[in-house]
Amino acid sequence: MDFITGKHLSRRTFVRGVGATVALPFLDAMVPAGRLWGRTVEDPTRLVCIEMVHGAAGSSDWGASQNLWSPATVGRGADLTPTALSPLKDYQEYLTVISDTDVRGAEATKPKEIGGDHFRSSATFLTQAHPRQTESSDVYVGTSLDQMYAHRFGQDTPIPSMQLCIENVDQAGGCAYGYACVYTDTISWASPTEPLPMIRDPRVAFDQLFGAGGTPEAREARRRSSASILDFITGEVSQLRMKLDAPDRVRIDRYLNNIREIERRIQRIVERNSSGEMRELPGAPAGVPDSFDEHVRLMFDLQALAFEADMTRVFSFKMGRDASGRVYPASGIDKAFHPASHHGENEQNILDFAQINKYHVGMLPYFLEKLKNTMEGDAHLLDKTMIIYGSPMGNPNVHNHKRCPLFVAGGANGQLKGDLHVRAAPETPMANVMLSLMHKLGLNDMTSFGDSTAPFSFTAPTD
């Protein structure tokens, strides 16, 4: 560690050991002398794009009349109680709900595409473009929003972007209705022809973030031992701590303890899944928890730590897979996800699916709390993050792509006021919203995106 007392540390400081490279969180020592009382950190906004497939109960006609997704009123102070968004009530000041936009890129445009909604929808979420129908390698859709942002603002971080998922993916070959599986198995596209792989295994994501073993052989050797990656950097950390003030030592200790706790959780999961006991997800890698809640929270923990150390500023997170038969017991509904989404316009079935929607949204406060409790300079990470959550499908019972669910959370470095519900005019493309969000992320030179027709206004009637 090259550190001279009286000079500030670089924001891009690492502690290294054999088989491990750990970036540091923001410290007072990283502020140039004379600026300690105005510890502003001017990193670009962190971005998380979350897709939950199959639309929402509130996108059906009856569900919309009952406000099962969107609040009844527009503007500020809307009542979230009847909606699937009610778990976000404690974070309403950071919540922007956009209702009734359409994802036309997911619609069938020719007879032979009819029926293929499951197998093209995910590719449209962040591209807002229509996928070419093919089962071969000549896939084509569009460059996704997250990758446009990563290309512009993620190149000075160790990892420009990361792509995570919860369900199994199979990005090879064809799936059904003439569509390559990659269209339904990724939401991130580096270019119209370059889908990016999604990481399902938290152990793989952890190794990427913390440089745990430079080769597959080194990583496997470390996994077989009981050593922590922190064991490899103990000497460097000790030298660093002696040269930091007390508040920075506390931050370093808390950050490293969080890394170690995540590492222990992953190790326990691997041990449990390798014990020979029957698993709920028998085909999943050993590092993947059988519990949906545990899996999602672990992925959120990794994202929060990565943002804290500025390892990456961009995540895409695919929380479901089309046509999934997974059951979510913690939701209180014992129906499998895909059958539940085909509610037949029956009111009780719609309410059941709304309960599953609410359960999925209910995963998010855990992440929001993590970000809010993580300070970076004089602000917390929730103020500096934009989280886009939505689906490219509307009413799943008929596989339409109208009145699609969408909300944004976080302050986005002052670009989002929060506590806002905006209802789009009929036939407004979701791409219009995405275009305006890109402007708020600093991509001000973008004049169009996907099938956008104009920027979208995030203005309340009283503003």
Q: Which fold has domain 45-200+313-463?
A: Alkaline Phosphatase, subunit A (3.40.720)
Q: Band the pLDDT of 2: cuts 50, 70, 90.
A: very low
Between 42 and 96, where is the model more confident?
96
Considering the chain, what percentage of its residues have pLDDT values greater than 70? 90
Phi/psi of residue 230, nearest 5 degrees? -70, -25
pLDDT attached to residue 3: 39
Type of residue at 363: M
Examine the pLDDT at 252 and tell me if it is beyond 70: yes
Examine the pLDDT at 29 and tell me if it is beyond 60: yes
pLDDT attached to residue 8: 65
Mean pLDDT: which of 25-34, 322-331, 364-373 is highest?
Answer: 364-373
Type of residue at 222: R
Q: Residue 332: CA atoms inside 13 Å, Cβ hemisphere, count? A: 10
pLDDT attached to residue 38: 47
Average of per-residue pLDDT across 281-300: 96
Determine the Cα–Cα distance for residues 431 and 401; give it in Å rounded to an integer.
Answer: 13
Span 118-161, pLDDT tens digits? 999 999 999 999 999 999 999 999 999 999 999 999 999 999 99
pLDDT attached to residue 266: 96
pLDDT attached to residue 452: 98
pLDDT attached to residue 6: 42
Residues in the chain, how many?
463
Q: Are strands 46-51 and 406-409 parallel, antiparallel or unpaired?
A: unpaired
Contact yes or no for 455/432 (Cβ under 8 A): yes
Q: Band the pLDDT of 236: cuts 50, 70, 90.
A: confident
Span 337-378, pLDDT tens digits? 999 999 999 999 999 999 999 999 999 999 999 999 999 988
> Which residues of the chain does CATH 3.40.720 include?
45-200+313-463
pLDDT attached to residue 19: 64
Give the pTM.
Answer: 0.94
pLDDT attached to residue 226: 61
Determine the Cα–Cα distance for residues 13 and 9; give it in Å rounded to an integer.
Answer: 7
Q: Are strands 46-51 and 385-390 parallel, antiparallel or unpaired?
A: parallel
Determine the Cα–Cα distance for residues 454 and 439; give it in Å rounded to an integer.
Answer: 12
SS3 content of the chain, % helix, strand, coil (to 5): 35, 15, 50
pLDDT attached to residue 13: 80
